[in-house]
Amino acid sequence: MNFSISLLKLNQYTLPFKQTQVNNATFANRKNEFDTFEMSIGYVNDIHGQTNNMLRILSGIKGDLRLSAGDNDIGDEKNKLVHNVTSKFLNIAGIKATALGNHEFDTKQNDFLDTIKSFDGDVLTINLKKKALELQDDFDVKTQGRADLDGYIKKSSIVNVKGERIGLVGASPLDMFERATHPDYHEDCSVSNLDETIESLQKEVDELKKQGVNKIILLSHLGYKRDRIVAEKTSDIDVIIGGHTHELIKDIKEGENLIYSKTGEPVIITEAGRDGRAFGLLNLVFDKNGVIKKAQNNLAETSNYYRNMINQYLFDEILGKPEKIGYIKKSTMPPTTLIEENPHANFMCDAMRYELNADIAVWNNAGPRNFFHEGVINSRDIRDIAPFRDGVSVAEITEEKIVNWFKNAIETTYKSPGYKPGLVAVSGLNYTVDSKNGKLAGMNFVDKNGIEHKIDINNPSKDKTYRFATDSFMMSAGADWGVLATKDEVEYHPECKDYYTCEYIKHLNKPIEINQTGRIKFI
């Protein structure tokens, strides 16, 4: 029989589960009267190295226990300073443990090892499998920066909260290496499938139970749909602090984030969106058997909090003091999905096109990790929008290759869960999407005088070329899009999109309005 729960409004504790209805004794007295245990969990997920949002979160995060569902960091070894700041943030915030997300593995393993050594908490995953170094080719180990991670990544841990032992388990995403920016760094690794992951989780939970732990939390980077499956197919997991799919899960809703385990006990799932734009506080009341009796889930919008200035000084010591660049007079809100036009990304494409004297510049909608806020803007604000340090590549690309590249990007986006990698932001182009069928329906080149020139998408020119600019990962890696030009075919610029955006704003030398829309049309 399922344990059932009656739900009240946000910011009020839920009523007790039905089989243990009580009188109207005050909440403060219930612990002693009914042998309950109260605790709160402050949680974050998918912060993606957003240093400004970290500072705001530090001004607001609370909780007897503070946890992360992973993807705290972002970027490869070129983002070393941001990695250092991320570790400092986790420590100052008092994060006791984090799941191992896919972006933690953007970097080489030895660089990742340096980062987690500076983290005071535990990195947890149950489903990462890694080939022993002694069984690998020495050349691969050296050139790909592989390391022995045993002893630094754990399956589970036990923490003490107000005198109670709380069990923590972690899980990594099943598509971890499909999303990796450098898959070759981690060819010695794999992730168990969902059935194997569930089996391993249950085994680890059972071991915790044998140690007398009856309150268990899963730090999951599996994604919301898989979290629901895990909740239903396991027993004795009480809470899943989730991430990876960037869901913004508010309140507690039965059937959505209040799920019942295979033994009928309640399991609560959380997820606080992406890029540190929100963080959560989950209040819980357990009975003496470790079953949740009452719960309350609150999300806070990070933008409502001021940056913690003491900690900003500490961050500045690592990153350097940012440069004031200009003023954003007006800014539209960013899109909420990857299949909407993003004026913030379009503006950065304008910057690449102008500064690199390109005909066309593009950037994928999954790339921006923040957006332009109204008011004074500095170089770190812009870097938070484009944190990957990929550099920019420029090449002469044929019309045929551009059209086929867009066709593939659109079809891949509409077929994939979460619409990844997303539609492509553009400058010097506009295009039409058949959203019902997920197809490219039309395209125009827009010259520097603003005149449109129709491109025949059914018969694009094999001879006409355009000076085409984008980040080097999109140009040459081929992940999700296809290769436009190989590394030896491009004019490479080590400066990144944020650099060209800063220069562009300086050259404009006026208050900026972020309203660059109408470049993607939908039918």
Angle at 501 (CA atoms; ends 500, 502), nearest 5 degrees: 90
Distance, CA of 354 to CA of 505 (rounded, Å): 11
Backbone angles phi, psi at 317, to 5 degrees: -65, -30
**Percent of the residues in the chain that have a pLDDT greater than 70, as a whole number:** 93
Helical segments of 444-516, H only: 472-476, 497-508
Rounded to whole angstroms, the Cα distance separating 457 from 443 reads 7
**CATH, range 55-304:** 3.60.21.10
Residue 42, both tokens: 């402050």
Read off the pLDDT band of 88 (50, 70, 90). Answer: very high
Q: Residue 464 contacts by C-beta under 8 Å, 6 or more apart in sequence?
A: 398, 399
Q: Residues 313-328: what's their mean pLDDT?
A: 94
pTM of the entire predicted model: 0.83
Q: Contact 416/331 with Cβ under 8 angstroms?
A: no
Q: What are phi and psi of 395, to 5 degrees?
A: -155, 160
Q: How confident is the model at residue 482 (pLDDT cuts 50, 70, 90)?
A: confident
C-alpha dihedral sign at 359, 363, 365, 371: negative
Q: In sequence order, which residues have a C-beta less than 8 Å from that of residue 75 and are 6 or more positions away?
A: 49, 82, 83, 103, 106, 107, 181, 387, 388, 389
DSSP 3-state of 309: helix
32, two tokens? 């002693």
d(CA 419, CA 436): 13
Summarised one tens digit per residue, pLDDT across range 381-424 is: 999 999 988 899 999 999 999 999 999 999 999 998 778 889 99
Checking if the pLDDT of 102 tops 50, the result is yes
**One CATH from 3.90.780.10, 3.40.50.720, 3.30.1200.10, 3.30.1490.20 for 322-522:** 3.90.780.10
> What is the average pLDDT score of the chain?
91
Show me where the domains of the chain are located. 55-304, 322-522
